[in-house]
Amino acid sequence: MENLSEFEANQKDLIHILHKIQAEYGYIPSQALSSISKHLKISESEIFGVLTFYKAFSLKPRGKHLVTICMGTACHVRGAPMILDELKRQLSIEPGETTEDDLFTLETVNCVGACALGPIVISDGNYHGQMKTREVNKLINKIKKEIKE
């Protein structure tokens, strides 16, 4: 499926390849495993082992909008767990899951290094700092509204 000729036929390029496919498709399609395996001459099970070890790669497609919440220590002491609870309640999903309508994927991240703004929610790359539980609803509705438009 993929044109992998830009990469060396060496295991050291495996993570680079996975990064590229993840960026292109938003996940690693299962067919990709066999093409990588052929190109790098390593077993599919080895590739599977590597890709499931790292958080950056996913075997399932993501929703249209990615909502990420920072669970770093600074955000934690400023109330991130409350915000996460509210996000889970509003979207009716657990972190790592996608809503049934494929609109939202909820993810947690260990620290985005913008601790002055904590607690932080990032929606499709936009930072929303100093979040409050009551603002979660507004944020989700705003994204939904944008989808309709």
Partner 1 sequence: MDKISITKLEEIKTEVTESRKKQKTDITICGGTGCHAYGCLEIAQAFKNAIKKQRLQNQVNVRTTGCHGFCERGPIVVIQPAGIFYQRVKLDDINEIISETIINKKVLDRLLYVDPRTGERIVEEKEVPFYKKQKRIIFGNNGFIDPTDVKDYIALDGYKALTKVLFNYTSEEVISEIKTSGLRGRGGAGFSTGIKWEICRQSLADVKYVICNADEGDPGAYMDRSLLEGNPHSVIEGMIIGAYAIGASEGYIYVRMEYPLAVKNITVALKQARDLGLLGESILGSEFSFDINIFRGAGAFVSGEETSLMASIEGRRAFPRQRPPFPAQKGLWGKPTNINNVETWANVPLILNKGADWYSKIGTKKSKGTKIFSLVGKINNTGLVEVPMGITLREIVYDIGGGIKENKKFKAVQTGGPSGGCIPAEMLDLRIDFDTLTKAGSMMGSGGMIVMDEDTCMVDIARYFLEFTQEESCGKCVPCRIGTRQLVEILTRITQGKGEEGDIKKLIDLAKTIKEGSLCGLGQTAPNPVLTTIQHFRDEYEAHIIDKSCPALYCKDLIVYYIEPKKCVGCLLCLKSCPVSAIKGERKMVHVIDQDLCIKCGACLDVCPPKVGAVSKYTGKKRDRILKKAYSIRVRK
Q: Decide if residue 66 touches partner 1 (CB under 8 A).
A: no
The greatest distance separating any two alpha carbons of the chain, rounded to the nearest whole angstrom, comes to 53
DSSP conformational letter for 110 = S
**Angle at CA 63, nearest 5°, toward 61 and 65?**
140
Q: Decide if residue 129 touches partner 1 (CB under 8 A).
A: yes
The residue written with tokens 């438009």 in the block is: 149
Q: Decide if residue 37 touches partner 1 (CB under 8 A).
A: no
**Residue 92 phi, psi dihedral angles, 5° rounding:** 55, 40
Site residues (CB under 8 A) for partner 1, limited to 99-128: 109-118, 120, 127
| Amino acid at residue number 146 | E
Q: Decide if residue 96 touches partner 1 (CB under 8 A).
A: no
Task: Write out the residues near partner 1 by the rule CB under 8 A.
Answer: 10-16, 18-19, 49-50, 53-57, 71-74, 76-79, 82, 85-86, 89, 109-118, 120, 127, 129, 132-134, 137
